[in-house]
Amino acid sequence: MTNVASTVTLNNGVAMPQFGLGVWKAKDGAEVVEAVKAAIAAGYRSIDTAAVYGNEAGVGQAIQESGVPREELFITTKVWNSEQGYETTLAAFEASLAKLGLDYVDLYLVHWPVKGKYKETWKALEKIYADGKARAIGVSNFHPHHLDDLLADAKVVPAVNQVELHPLLSQEELRRYCDEKKIYVEAWSPLMQGNLDLPVLQEIASRYGKTPAQVILRWHLQHNIIVIPKSVTPSRIQENADLFDFELNAEDLAKIDALNENRRFGADPDNFNF
């Protein structure tokens, strides 16, 4: 973990940048195109999108216009809930590829554990993986009980579980579970959707000459978590990647760990209605 493009090794040997850009709520067209291009220019190599974000076409356009070779980038997308099931997922994957203008993705995820559907969906991801169209496959928003259920029949162990994870929801039990199963944890809403106004973070940030956002993202990196902060603001895209010239000490890591209150900004995977 020495620079913005540094990678971790997933359970199938694929290298994935530990840091990347999230693009949920970035509008398709100029907004997402400019954000992704600014990120790539700042050294980002990983982009996290999803079919439901409606901006895969813009992400694809930015990739093309970035001038960085495709194989140096790591592109994640996800199958949306309404498309879950075997055949529907295969079709959704092809639609995502077409929008992105790519012939493979680096990581394809089951976006949410839709009851009664996610196992069939996983079979489709295994087929996509076997066909070489996704370099790795994984899940998102899976609790340990969802993973236990999936693993009972899975041929491929998910490489990643992308979940909400930040100082107010540190997910220690899930992290332990995923470590045991060799599933990498990836944090969504790492910046608590912009709710950064916590005195403890301000105090730590001022001591390191950093911002609360940088302190939080550094906390993720030092806990060996993959992290994908979203911003469409060029200065913040730069700021969020400027994490490699300082290290939080053990005491400050523990202070941030102690902020946990199991507080979600998004839905609980046991209780979602979309």
As annotated, the active-site residues are: 53
| Helix ranges, 101-131 (H) | 118-130
Q: Which is nearer to ligand NDP, 79 or 124 (CB)?
A: 79
- Residue matched to tokens 């620079």: 3
Give contact residues for ligand NDP (rule: CB under 6 A).
Answer: 22-24, 48, 111, 140-141, 162, 188-194, 196, 211, 213, 228-233, 236, 239-240, 266
Q: Which is nearer to ligand NDP, 97 or 169 (CB)?
A: 169
Amino acid at 8: V
SS3 of residue 155 by DSSP:
coil
- Residue matched to tokens 């290290």: 247
Whether the CB-CB separation of 230 and 39 falls below 8 Å is answered with no
Whether the CB-CB separation of 229 and 213 falls below 8 Å is answered with yes
Rounded to the nearest whole angstrom, what is the least distance from the CB of residue 196 to ligand NDP in the complex? 6
Q: Which is nearer to ligand NDP, 8 or 243 (CB)?
A: 243
Rounded to the nearest whole angstrom, what is the least distance from the CB of residue 107 to ligand NDP in the complex? 12
Could you give the CA distance from residue 158 to residue 237 in angstroms, rounded to a whole number? 29
Rounded to the nearest whole angstrom, what is the least distance from the CB of residue 248 to ligand NDP in the complex? 17
Rounded to the nearest whole angstrom, what is the least distance from the CB of residue 95 to ligand NDP in the complex? 18
Q: Which is nearer to ligand NDP, 87 or 246 (CB)?
A: 246
Measured from each CB, the residue nearest to ligand NDP is: 22
Could you give the CA distance from residue 148 to residue 188 in angstroms, rounded to a whole number? 22
